[in-house]
Amino acid sequence: MHAAPASPALVKIAVAQMTSVNNSDVNFQTCASLVKASAAMLFLPECHSFIGATASESLGQAQQLNGPLMTAYQELARSNALWLSLGGFQEVGPDPAHLYNTHVIIDSDGELVSRYRKIHLFDVDIPNGPVLMESNTTAPGDEAVVCDSIAGRIGVTVCYDLRFPELYQTLTWGMGATLIAVPSAFTKMTGEPGQDRVSS
């Protein structure tokens, strides 16, 4: 766990929204364009690096956290001297049929200081809508994670985790989180009803 200053000064953070596509190079350039010199930390959404047209396409994009794409994000953080919260990166999973949906935090030196694998997978049968089964191609994590950062102690989560309050009780009351990050990539049908109550 990365040590934060004992009494961090007021810092400016940026929370970005973007429309990811099935091209990691294009998405990286979009993320790079969102970097603001005045912000100490930038929070990017789930699937910031890639969103596949099919599940197999996403599986094919999965990389190790020491792979070339994460290395590029580490250099982006280092060269701009800011922290990055990277929601929902496709990390190589435990077997060829599954990846991890991983929230990564990188410090301003370009060091990967936190890795959280999404615990609660988005398996839903929407009335009059699609059946969505994230677990078909994604393996769940099994560990709650906090990260000391320039912005405070962050409870590190991803999207559908938000439906499970016991995780947030653990992160705040049990692990001392003062800030909760929930990077999300809602579907149109699931996102619209709550968009006035939940910011992604």
Question: What positions carry a catalytic annotation?
Answer: 46, 118, 159
- What distance in Å separates the CA atoms of residue 180 and residue 192, rounded to the nearest whole number? 22
The full length of the chain comes to: 200
Sequence-separated (6 or more) residues with CB below 8 Å from residue 5: 150
Amino acid at the residue 21: V
124 CB-contact burial (10 Å; exposed 0-12 / middle 13-18 / buried 19+): middle
- Nearest Cα to 199, choosing from 159, 147, 146? 159
What tokens appear for 152 in the block? 């405070």
- Nearest Cα to 162, choosing from 109, 198, 123? 198
- What distance in Å separates the CA atoms of residue 98 and residue 55, rounded to the nearest whole number? 10
Pairing of strands 145-149, 152-156: antiparallel
What tokens appear for 38 in the block? 């005045």
